[in-house]
Structure 1
């Protein structure tokens, strides 16, 4: 796995979060068909860039964008 591939996956996940809002890691896995480990690598990338925030509910990890898409672009 190359850094470029992780970035590509992170971009795709960011786009889904932008369109759909808060999602569980399981929902992301079902939507993208990425392996769990690849999702976590991509989320780590997004987290390092301060683009996402995490929460836990009923032992499930959820992720959402740190800002609304319009805030990110302006």
Structure 2
């Protein structure tokens, strides 16, 4: 896995999240077809770009798109 692969996987995950629903990790993994380390790297990429929100409820991790608003 290289940076290009991670970027492509991040795009795949972002497209899945683009319906603004809250996805649990297992469903996102299944729908994306990515392995744990691939999904983890893609989520890390998106989190560093401040594109997603990670929310922990009990034992479940939920992921959804963040809303970034810039008023300049």
TM over 0.5: yes
Aligned length: 69
Is residue 20–residue 64 contact of structure 2 (8 Å, CA) maintained in 1? no
* Stretches of structure 2 lacking an aligned partner (at least 5 in a row): none
The two structures, once aligned, show a CA RMSD in angstroms of 1.5
**Whole-Å separation in 1 of the counterparts to 2:27 and 2:49:** 22
Gaps of 5+ in 1: none
**Normalising to structure 2: TM-score of the pair?**
0.87
Tell me which protein shows more helix as a share of its residues.
Answer: 1
Asked if 1:57 corresponds to 2:57, the answer is yes
Query: Please, what TM-score do these two structures have when normalized by structure 1?
Result: 0.84
Displacement of 1:37 in angstroms is 1.2
Runs of 4+ in 1 over 6 A off after TM superposition: none
